[in-house]
Amino acid sequence: MRMDGNTILITGGSSGIGRGLAEAFQKRGNKVIIGGRTEARLKEVAAANPGMEYLVVDCARKESIEAAAAEAERRWPGLNVVFNNAGVQKTFDFAGGAVDERALEEEIDTNVYGVVRVAAAFLPLLKRQREAWVVNTSSGLAFVPMAVFPVYCATKAFVHSFSMSLRVQLKETSVRVVELAPPYVATELDRDHKDRASAHQAMPLAEYVAAAMKELESGADEAAVGFAKMGRDAVMNDKVMGIFARLNG
């Protein structure tokens, strides 16, 4: 994708990978808007990065997404990149008894419905731009799941599949669809269940952001790094892509 001169919205932009990418893109000469549901955190990040703006949006709520899309069109009519990056990660033990319905719904609402609704809400604006991108954040766990996160992994597999289909549907428009597949990165995503003994295995955030920026700049449809690239390359082989091409030719 083009790496400068864009107007970019990054959901989940107040922390972790979202914030790292927001700051990296701003340094490359882009107008950056961070999105999230907690205004105080958004204000703090924007204040630390003069020129950065923010948009309050709860990606688990349809009405919030629709309102945010309308506000974005009014305030930033040249918006041409949307990073669909908001996400939550929960642990579930289906062998251990009752599942927390509230946590289950939050994870699916954010990671599945949120991704679809953000794409749908912002596409009318994006399609009016000469060049535009939707960048959906999946995970290395989209390709090879980790059983302690059964729902999270399934939601990210959904993001991968949705991105492939959306890319085909939009091929005759000005909008490119890119999938961003991170490995295990040192962020707050797993703060509620981090295994302290294995936390050192996480890729440092700055290292990941630098690698992700390079992948995005390369023009890859699937910008995968580290373990995520290993999983992607193992699963998305020539045979699979050949079948996909036949189904969608």
54, 152, 184, 208: which is the annotated catalytic residue?
A: 152
Going by C-alpha positions, the residue among 46, 43, 34, 37 that lies closest to residue 8 is 34
- Which residues fall within 8 angstroms of residue 168, CB to CB, at 6 or more apart? 248
Strand segments, DSSP code E, in the chain are 7-11, 31-36, 53-56, 81-84, 132-137, 175-181, 222-224
Sheet containing 81-84: give its strands across. 53-56, 31-36, 7-11, 81-84, 132-137, 175-181, 222-224
Mention every residue, 6+ apart, whose C-beta is less than 8 A from residue 37: 56, 57, 58, 59, 60, 64
For this structure, is 54 an active site residue? no
Catalytic residue IDs: 152
